[in-house]
Amino acid sequence: MKQIKNERYQETYNEVVLDNGLHVVLWHKPGYEKSLFMMMTPFGAMDLAQLQNGERIEHPSGIAHFLEHKMFAMGEKDVMNMFSEMGANVNAFTSYRETAYYAGTSNDPKEPLKLLLDFVQKLDIDQASVEKEKGIILSELHMYKEMSDQRLLMEAYTSLFHKHPMRFDIAGEDDDVSNTTVDQLYRCYEMNYHPSNMMLICVSGHDPKELLEVIEANQAQKQFAEWTPCKTLRAEEPEAVCREDFSFTMDVSEPKLCVAYKLKGITDPYERLKSEWAIRFLLDANFTSLNPQYQQWLDQKIINDFCGCDIEFGEDYGILMFYSETSKPEEFIRLCEECMAQMKQGTLDENLLNQLKKRYFAQGVRSMNSFDDIAVSFCRSYFTGIDYFKTLDIVDELSEEDVRSVVHKLDDQHRAIVRLMPK
């Protein structure tokens, strides 16, 4: 077991790779009674086409989310009740990039830890249970479509992309969910849930050596088939957006707009992270209350409290978006154009830059008091190929030159406007 101690942040964790390939991280939090355990696979809603052993496998949209639902089945047993009887809680989530399962307790952590390993490392489904789950997932999908904010976001993704899987909801499309088979779920599970493709992180006040003994004993009792790494395949995505201007109606009192820009992806993970932070600082300076004109926009009803912006890069995509509820849609579009033009100048006041750096750096340091934040952020950093602590260093070290250097990534040529109008 290798120990890593970061002197700057005064945090320590141990890591080991078991014989079956499972990467285990034991993050010690002395003085805490509680524990959080998380198992994550870098398989998410975007991984719809994979290559393994020279064979291309096409998955239906939403299969990662479908698997997440079905993992909680252990024959006739109710996994959630089993955790509850131990004085623990359990949950899971699926994103575009990963699927994670986690359990927390302030009691003896050994049994919840073993149960998490057991139910994640065995898929137990049949045709009847899969068919029943389809109805549950479809109801969930339809519920999301009735939520105006969620619908606006999804229509923005659909407007931006022709072929990229982000055009699909994480839960999938109705037809794909309805037609998902037991065989597809098992195949997907076998390809992506092997120990060699997963991380287990334990954030706990308990002795890491004792927790590792529990994990090793549990894993020694199990046999896993040989596994070949999978490669996610992507169709070539056109530079242009799929829909330049799209409108739809819902039962809302005011129009809601999203102005989204399609940017190029960034392959290098550190450059990707630095670019996100630099552009986020520019967004904060130009499209939040830090801009002296912000109150004027509110007074003129160009924006209201439902107003925001976001930036995200992946290896093969980039998205920058502005959104707001507004009684003046055309003025809001012009406002977004003006903000984009201002951002492309790449200027950021030194005092404001330092203020933003201090704010986000402090938030990052505080997040180390959250067991959930540590687990999620560490796993994501690992699967992305980034040192966890370096993510904080990047924020702290960001310079005016770094901000200016990302300007060329702010391409405003490929834009989609999505309008949600009252019925």
pLDDT of 136: 95
Give the tokens for residue 289. 């209350």
Using alpha carbons only, give the angle 93, 99, 105 rounded to the nearest 5 degrees. Answer: 55
Instruction: Indicate whether 119 pLDDT > 90.
Output: yes
pTM (two decimals):
0.95
Nearest Cα residue to 180 out of 114, 135, 149, 242? 135
CA 92 to chain centre: 12
Euclidean distance between CA atoms 58 and 41, whole angstroms:
18
pLDDT of 248: 97
Distances (CA, A) of 332 to 75, 208, 259, 301: 54, 54, 9, 9
pLDDT of 78: 87
3-state secondary structure the chain: CEEEEECCCCEEEEEEECCCCCEEEEEECCCCCCEEEEEEECCCCCCCEEEECCEEEECCCCHHHHHHHHCCEECCEEHHHHHHHCCEEEEEEECCCCEEEEEEECCCCHHHHHHHHHHHCCCCCCHHHHHHHHHHHHHHHHHHHCCHHHHHHHHHHHHHCCCCHHHCCCCCCHHHHHHCCHHHHHHHHHHHCCHHHCEEEEEECCCHHHHHHHHHHHHHCCCCCCCCCCEECCCCCCCCCCCCEEEEEECCCCCEEEEEEEECCCCCHHHHHHHHHHHHHHHHHHHCCCCCCHHHHHHCCCCCCCEEEEEEECCCCEEEEEEEECCCHHHHHHHHHHHHHHHCCCCCCHHHHHHHHHHHHHHHHHHHHCHHHHHHHHHHHHHHCCCHHHHHHHHHHCCHHHHHHCHHHCCCCCEEEEEEEEC
Instruction: Indicate whether 76 pLDDT > 90.
Output: no
**Where does the pLDDT of residue 120 fall: very low under 50, low under 70, confident under 90, or very high at 90 and above?**
very high
Euclidean distance between CA atoms 69 and 25, whole angstroms:
25
- Percentage with pLDDT > 70 across the chain: 100
First to last CA, the chain: 61
pLDDT of 309: 97
Mean pLDDT of the chain: 96
User: What CATH topology corresponds to 2-232?
Assistant: Cytochrome Bc1 Complex; Chain A, domain 1 (3.30.830)
Give the CATH superfamily of 245-422: Metalloenzyme, LuxS/M16 peptidase-like (3.30.830.10)
Instruction: Indicate whether 74 pLDDT > 90.
Output: no
Q: What is the CB-side half-sphere exposure of residue 245 using CA atoms within 13 A? A: 3
- The full set of domain ranges for the chain reads 2-232, 245-422
pLDDT of 203: 98
Euclidean distance between CA atoms 28 and 26, whole angstroms:
6
**Where does the pLDDT of residue 59 fall: very low under 50, low under 70, confident under 90, or very high at 90 and above?**
very high
Mean per-residue pLDDT, 337-366: 95
Query: Could you read off the pLDDT of 185-241 as tens digits, one per residue?
Result: 999 999 999 999 999 999 999 999 999 999 999 999 999 999 999 999 999 999 999
Instruction: Indicate whether 73 pLDDT > 90.
Output: no
Q: What are phi and psi of 240, to 5 degrees?
A: -70, 155
Instruction: Indicate whether 77 pLDDT > 90.
Output: no
- Percentage with pLDDT > 90 across the chain: 97
Q: What are phi and psi of 51, to 5 degrees?
A: -115, 125
Distances (CA, A) of 339 to 75, 200, 216: 55, 42, 54
Euclidean distance between CA atoms 326 and 315, whole angstroms:
33
pLDDT of 369: 93
Instruction: Indicate whether 75 pLDDT > 80.
Output: no
Query: Could you read off the pLDDT of 9-36 as tens digits, one per residue?
Result: 999 999 999 999 999 999 999 999 999 9
Query: Could you read off the pLDDT of 151-179 as tens digits, one per residue?
Result: 999 999 999 999 999 999 999 999 999 99
Fold agreement between 2-232 and 245-422: yes
Length of the chain: 423
Contacts of 392 (CB under 8 A, 6+ apart): 9, 361, 364, 365
pLDDT of 224: 95
Instruction: Indicate whether 401 pLDDT > 80.
Output: yes
